[in-house]
Amino acid sequence: MAKSCFENEYEINASLRILYPYLNTAGGLAQWFADNVTIDYDKNFIFHVDGEIHKAKIAATRRDQYIRFEYLPENGHDNGDDDPDYLEFFLEKNDFTDSTFLRIRDCSSEDTGDDELSEIWESLVGNLRELVGG
């Protein structure tokens, strides 16, 4: 099945150190990204969103800069899929303008239109901005 990727960048008036815990911890993500986020005994993140449960593992991370979540199949186990659905958060500081940017890449097999994803992410990032005052 073809994968579609949504990518956008958002300016947020907060430091990398303030933003990063909202992207890489269950408690931080639960405040703006999902209804609830927990971590299971295998250290997989469990995202509760609109009555649905989505499990993901951290596939890559770089402190205060980047995190990639790869979604696990419905059975909850990594089946070695070479092309899993994933979500990436990139943080960049522009020293010239002293601005911080959050770039989001959301790649999924689900058939969600770009306009709908844009609205969803605008709302979610708006929640994050309110939390960090930016």
At 11-50, the pLDDT tens digits run: 998 999 999 999 999 999 999 999 999 999 999 999 999 9
Q: How many CB atoms lie within 10 A of CB 55?
A: 20
Beginning with the edge strand found earlier in the chain, give each strand of the sheet holding 36-39 in spatial order.
Answer: 4-12, 99-108, 86-94, 66-71, 52-62, 45-49, 36-39
Tell me the residue range of the domain where 122 lies: 4-132
Cβ pair 78, 72 in contact under 8 A: yes
Convert the pLDDT of each residue in 45-75 to its tens digit.
999 999 999 999 999 999 999 999 999 987 5
Q: List the CATH number of the domain containing 63.
A: 3.30.530.20
Write down the pTM of the prediction.
Answer: 0.89
Alpha carbon 13 to chain centroid, angstroms: 18
Total domains, the chain: 1
Q: How many helices (H) and strands (E) does the chain have?
A: 4, 7
